[in-house]
Structure 1
Amino acid sequence: MRRKLSLLLAPLVAAATLVSVGAPAPAHPVRQFPARIALPDGFTPEGLTIGRGTTVYVGSVLDGAVWRGDLRTGRGSVLIPGTPGTAKAGLKLDPQGRLWTADFFGGGASVYDPNTGARLAHYQFTTDPNTLVNDLVITKRAIYFTDSVRPVLYVVPLGPGHRLPASDAFRVLPLRGPGATPDAFNNGIVALPNGDLLVAQMLTGQLVRVDPRTGDSRLFDLGGYSVDRADGLVLRGRTLHVIRNLSNVIAVVRLNAGYTAGVVQREITGPQLRSLATGDLFGSALYVVNGRFDVESTPSTDYDIVRLPA
């Protein structure tokens, strides 16, 4: 199973899980935090999100386990045990503190209590085996999920007070325009302040803007720069981090005032980046998880989270 998963992930996968507007600067100096946090051997991580305080969550694309740790101490443990045959890609916490996960091969999404790991809800978007529910973004009104092999977004609306809707209260939003390009591998997703959604296409090397009401899309102008292997997207204000997994590069992009174009200001790279998957911001630091998609996952393969200057 591990070898099959590794062969699938190496040419294609890394989601992105996670993709979020960064938290405000913490009261504690980030430079005192460990630069590397070890994950359990063989964990095969994919999604990462930072929650309340210094809590970080990482999901496994191997068996759907979720590890919870502390950015300050570097210590943690498995919150949600893995189940053979399941997988989790992107994950994100909503304003009520609930943990949402994109269930990857499973064609759906789940919601968990971030303290106990108890599952609160599940949404089965499709039973088609040809699906990869990859990443998600949470807005005031809904949660949007990408599918890396189907030209759609899955939309779970939130009720008054952000109440969880019924298990069948979701819709499938067909994409039109460049967002529906065949074999583009739609991956990371963020919400722009102007209301559009921004989606990374891992295999075309492009970003596309999507109208969340209609599914219409347009290319996002990067001045000819390719974001090949774009996986996770992390947005704070008008600064976008594009995490490019097998390229081992993070492009730092400054967006224009209309959120229609951006200029790449710099690239972050280094030997500590090992087929990184996605990340999240904490103060002046960017935390990324190394998915190591270029090697076969075994029970002894080491994985980690690394801290970088944002």
Structure 2
Amino acid sequence: MQRSFARRSLLGAAAATGAAALLGSLGGTAHAAGAGDGWPESFRLPDGFQPEGIAIGHSPYAYFGSLGNGDIYQASLRTGRGRLLSAGPGTESHSVGLKIDRAERRLFIAGGTAIRVVDARTGALAHDYTTFGGQFVNDVILTPDAAWFTDSYQPLLYRLALDRAGEPVGAPVAVPLGGDWTQGDFTANGIARTPDGRALLVVNTVAGGGTLMRVDPATGTATAVDLGALRIPNGDGLLLLGRTLYIVQQVANQVDVVRLNAAGTRGTAIARITDPRFRIPTTAAAWGGRIYLPNARFDIEPTPTTDYDVVAIDQV
């Protein structure tokens, strides 16, 4: 799996210069400020954890996935203290993107070569769907009737059907991507819903220098979203709050903020968030007036003693 992580680091090596040039066209930089509630604005994760994904539900607890061995770590946003919730399958397994359901009962995990569902209260493994070779299941979003997963190596999404109680039904089904979709070595990354809930938004790091694709969930047809001059070659996690979309551009150490129309066909860049605490953040989740991002530190070789942390920024 080293190929995938190295690819992530290299995706935007040249894009940092382009991102800096784009910054001027966006009219400035938004910097984080403290929320003033006394809760920590950053906190440590276990040494050597190798975080990538984050999920937050209605309660002030965050869940993090490890690229190193698939562990799931739970932390209190009030104190920053946490615990190992679920031990991963091992060193050949990963927990990349993850989401928690509305009932805060299940964690859906994009696991590289597998899709897993873990009990969010006990950490017990509830479902394990091992995919075939050649995949890199990267991120996940939940809709009322399905969990949708991206695959960075192949032009397709996986749909895992859910019943009315949110319980998985059957096995994941591959949905091929067509239309404007362009596939490279490492392509699809973050995923979100459109503001109107009728389609999916998927990061495509290749098409048009890096952009969003609006995907029809019924057909897999992808249409490029009009983002104006904004390019997202380092696009990773997506966070949609109302019509405001936060796009984490990991290697560039920035979060681009876009105002979308309801259908998700057009977006206007309204801000760029930078912060000296960013050390290649990958994904984002919100609670209260803050957004929390784990620092993946893809620019260094991880060791068992490498330090990792989470930083909180204010919402735009």
Alignment TM-score > 0.5, same fold: yes
Deviation track 1:189-229 (CA, whole Å, cap 9, x = no partner) reads 00112411000123441100000000001000011211120
Paired residue for 2:48, among 42, 47, 52? 42
Matches within 5 A, 1:62-101: 62-82=68-88, 83-97=90-104, 98-101=106-109
Counterpart in the other structure of 1:19: none
Do the aligned residues in 2 keep the contact of 1:7 with 1:296 (CA within 8 Å)?
no
- 1:286 is the counterpart of 2:288: no
**C-alpha distance after superposition, 1:228-247 (max 9, x if no partner):** 20000000110000000000
RMSD after superposition: 1.9
Higher relative contact order (CA 8 A, sep 6+): 1
Which region of structure 1 is more displaced relative to structure 2, 74-83 or 150-159? 74-83
CA offset at residue 78 of structure 1? Answer: 1.1
Equivalent position of 2:237 in the other structure? 232
Q: Is the 8 A contact 2:154 2:183 kept in 1?
A: no
Structure 2 SS opposite 1:165:
coil
Change (3 A) 1:156 1:198: same
For residue 190 of structure 1, what is the aligned residue in structure 2? 192
2:9 corresponds to: 10
1:256 aligns with 2:261: yes
TM-score (norm 1): 0.88
Aligned-partner Cα distance in 1 for 2:278–2:92: 28
| Residue 205 in structure 1 maps to residue 213 in structure 2 | no
Is contact 2:189-2:204 (8 Å) kept? yes
Corresponding residue number in structure 2 for 1:17: none
Aligned-partner residue type, residue 76 of structure 2: D
Instruction: Determine the structure 2 residue equivalent to 1:304.
Output: 309
Equivalenced residues, count: 288
Q: Distance in 2 between matches of 1:113 and 1:6?
A: 27
Structure 2 unaligned runs (5+)? 13-34
Deviation (angstroms), 1:179 = 2.5
Deviates more, 1:148-157 or 1:201-210: 201-210
Provide the C-alpha distance between the structure 1 equivalents of 2:314 and 2:218, rounded to a whole number of angstroms: 36
Provide the rounded CA distance (Å) in 2 between the counterparts of 1:236 and 1:271: 24
Task: Extract unaligned runs of 5+ from structure 1.
Answer: 14-28
Residue of structure 2 equivalent to 1:270: 275
Q: Which residue of 2 aligns with 1:21?
A: none
Is the contact made by 2:57 and 2:101 (CA closer than 8 Å) also made in structure 1?
no
> What displacement does 1:184 show?
5.5
Match runs of 1:62-211 below 5 Å: 62-82=68-88, 83-97=90-104, 98-104=106-112, 106=113, 108-124=114-130, 126-128=131-133, 130-166=134-170, 168=171, 170-183=172-185, 185-192=187-194, 193-203=196-206, 204-211=209-216
Cα drift, residue 12 of structure 1 = 5.3
Q: Distance in 1 between matches of 2:281 and 2:168?
A: 32
Find out whether 1:247 has 2:252 as its counterpart. Answer: yes
Whole-angstrom CA distance in 2 between matches of 1:165 and 1:64 = 23
Structure 1 residue 257, shift from structure 2 partner: 3.7
CA distance in 2, matches of 1:9, 1:265: 25
* CA 1:258–1:110: 2 relative to 1, 3 Å: closer
2:23 matched residue in structure 1:
none
Shift of 1:6: 5.8
Q: Secondary structure at the match of 2:283?
A: strand
Tell me the amino acid that sits aligned with residue 145 of structure 1.
F
Report deviation, 1:31.
Answer: 3.0
Query: 1:252, 1:137 → 2: CA distance?
Result: 19
